[in-house]
């Protein structure tokens, strides 16, 4: 098996698929990339048994075949070669010989037959969505996913399809993020699936900020996207997502309206002297005024005060300041609407003049 390809043709594909290759693998073959040479194209496949990426390069070839090569080493070799370098790859006797100019490398290989590939079931839901809209709802919610929680269904992101609306929801039990967008084609039936953290991370890396549509296929166990010569497939989390609608507070008649950037900066300053472990900050609401107080075990204190639009009752409530800042960093509008009904209830953050995204933060005892 022989192939000749330029560095510029193979390097972007290698960089894309290497994203899912873990450095420490239980199965040696998972450290490899599957190289398949057909008459019309060359495909590179990498997987960690949860997420699979396939990059296809349009290139005609007289000889066909398939083999697996060490993914990181192959990438490092191609990166280190000079620009416009021509790479000649030849496979013989379980060894891969790579020649480029006066450089020569010999890599070990493993048989392609042993490489685990995802089996995508035929029964599937199909829809189209612009890459920008899909990336936007993932970026706006992924920060609220749990990390290594025993409630494994929280270590991922819920995608909910109904009519022509796609909703993304993530929560770790302390805060929740929700974002809606419209899809191009209407699916047959409403569905809910949970995409694991690794899948969400790879998707946000692959999706582009443009209006081109992407095909999304969802089966009982997998989600698949076809993106510009790259095929992304991820397992779905087998579990039931909690009823998130019960924890979203209703909007009231006296929301706090604050300049988002002023509030973010004042909370950032107050957080400097908060307890490093619990990150607690006390928010005191008074008519037209919001104060943020923080202190730590060393008896150090910080106090911030900003003007806000608020005409409700005086109130004092504690929050993890990191959760408040995460929500404010996602909101892009000039002002932010904050609904707090009482000191024991969740706090709802809304961007100005938009109901597409909602952010909920639970209070904490201080």
Burial-class residue 92 by CB neighbours within 10 Å (0-12, 13-18, 19+): exposed
52 compared with 94, residue with greater pLDDT: 52
**Could you give the CA distance from residue 362 to residue 187 in angstroms, rounded to a whole number?**
34
Which of 95, 114, 133 corresponds to the end of one domain?
Answer: 114
Does residue 206 belong to any structural domain of this protein?
yes
- The average confidence (pLDDT) of the chain is 94
The predicted pLDDT at position 57 comes to 95
Distances in Å between the Cα of 363 and the Cα atoms of 67, 151, 247, 318, 342 are 55, 21, 12, 6, 10
Mean pLDDT across 179-199: 89
- Same domain for 242 and 253, yes or no, is no
Nearest in space to 284 (alpha carbons), one of 312, 253, 254: 312
* Continuous segment of H or E residues that includes residue 327: helix 321-330
- Same domain for 241 and 253, yes or no, is no
- Same domain for 253 and 242, yes or no, is no
Does residue 253 belong to any structural domain of this protein?
yes
- Same domain for 134 and 235, yes or no, is yes
Which of 64, 92, 114 corresponds to the end of one domain?
Answer: 114
- Same domain for 176 and 231, yes or no, is yes
Does residue 366 belong to any structural domain of this protein?
no
The predicted pLDDT at position 93 comes to 86
pLDDT, tens only, 220-248: 899 999 998 899 999 999 999 999 999 99
pLDDT > 70: what percent of the chain? 99
The predicted pLDDT at position 24 comes to 80
170 has pLDDT over 70: yes
- Same domain for 281 and 350, yes or no, is yes
The predicted pLDDT at position 201 comes to 96
- Same domain for 155 and 255, yes or no, is no
Q: What's the longest Cα–Cα distance across the chain?
A: 79
Q: What is the DSSP letter of 54?
A: E
The predicted pLDDT at position 277 comes to 87
**Could you give the CA distance from residue 233 to residue 350 in angstroms, rounded to a whole number?**
33
Q: What letters, b where the CB count within 10 A reaches 16 and e where it falls short, cover 115-153? A: beebeeeeeebebebbbebbbbbbbbbbbbbbeeeeeeb
Mean pLDDT across 243-264: 94
Specify the CATH number for the domain of residue 305.
3.10.150.10
State how many domains the chain has: 3
Does residue 89 belong to any structural domain of this protein?
yes
The predicted pLDDT at position 188 comes to 65
**pLDDT level of residue 299 (50, 70, 90 thresholds):** very high
- Same domain for 9 and 106, yes or no, is yes
Which structural domain, as residue segments, surrounds residue 208? 124-246
Assess contact for 119 and 131: CB atoms under 8 A: no
Ordered DSSP codes for 142-160: GGG--SS-SSGGGSEEEEE
Does residue 119 belong to any structural domain of this protein?
no
Mean pLDDT across 179-200: 89
- Same domain for 85 and 128, yes or no, is no
- Same domain for 357 and 257, yes or no, is yes
Which of 246, 273, 304 corresponds to the end of one domain?
Answer: 246
Does residue 48 belong to any structural domain of this protein?
yes
- Same domain for 162 and 229, yes or no, is yes
pLDDT, tens only, 132-165: 999 999 999 999 999 999 999 999 999 999 988 9
Does residue 258 belong to any structural domain of this protein?
yes
pLDDT, tens only, 38-92: 999 999 999 999 999 999 999 988 888 999 999 999 999 999 999 999 999 999 8
366 has pLDDT over 90: no
- Same domain for 319 and 273, yes or no, is yes
């Amino acid at each position: 098996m022989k192939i000749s390809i330029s560095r510029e043709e193979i390097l972007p594909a290698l960089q894309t698929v290497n994203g899912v290759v873990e450095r420490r693998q239980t199965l040696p073959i998972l450290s490899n990339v599957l190289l398949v040479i057909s008459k019309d194209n060359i495909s590179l496949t990498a997987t960690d048994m949860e997420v699979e990426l396939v990059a296809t390069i349009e290139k005609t070839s007289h000889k066909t075949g398939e083999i697996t090569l060490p993914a990181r080493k192959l990438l490092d070799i191609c990166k280190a070669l000079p620009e416009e370098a021509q790479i000649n790859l030849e496979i013989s006797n379980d060894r891969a010989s790579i020649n480029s100019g006066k450089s020569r490398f010999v890599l070990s290989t493993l048989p392609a037959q042993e490489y685990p590939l995802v089996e995508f079931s035929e029964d599937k839901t199909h829809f189209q969505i612009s890459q920008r809209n899909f990336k936007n709802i993932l970026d706006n919610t992924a920060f609220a996913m749990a990390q290594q929680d025993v409630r494994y269904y929280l270590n991922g992101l819920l995608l909910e399809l109904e009519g022509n609306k796609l909703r993304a929801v993530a929560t770790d039990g302390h805060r929740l993020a929700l974002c809606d967008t419209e899809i191009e084609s209407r699916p047959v039936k409403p569905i809910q699936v949970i995409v694991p953290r690794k899948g969400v991370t790879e998707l946000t890396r692959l999706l582009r900020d443009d209006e081109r549509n992407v095909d999304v296929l969802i089966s009982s166990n997998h989600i698949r996207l076809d993106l510009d010569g790259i095929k992304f497939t991820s397992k779905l989390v087998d579990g039931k997502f909690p009823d998130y609608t019960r924890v979203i507070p209703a909007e009231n008649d006296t929301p706090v309206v604050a300049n988002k950037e002023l509030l973010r900066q004042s909370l950032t300053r107050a957080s400097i002297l908060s307890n490093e472990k619990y990150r607690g900050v006390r928010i005191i609401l008074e008519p037209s005024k919001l104060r943020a107080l923080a202190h730590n075990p060393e008896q150090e204190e910080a106090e911030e005060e900003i003007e806000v639009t608020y005409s409700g009752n005086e109130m004092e409530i504690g929050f993890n300041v990191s959760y408040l800042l995460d929500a404010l960093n996602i909101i892009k509008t000039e002002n932010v609407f904050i609904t707090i009904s009482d000191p024991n209830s969740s706090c709802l953050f809304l961007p100005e003049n938009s109901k597409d995204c909602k952010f909920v933060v639970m209070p904490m005892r201080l």
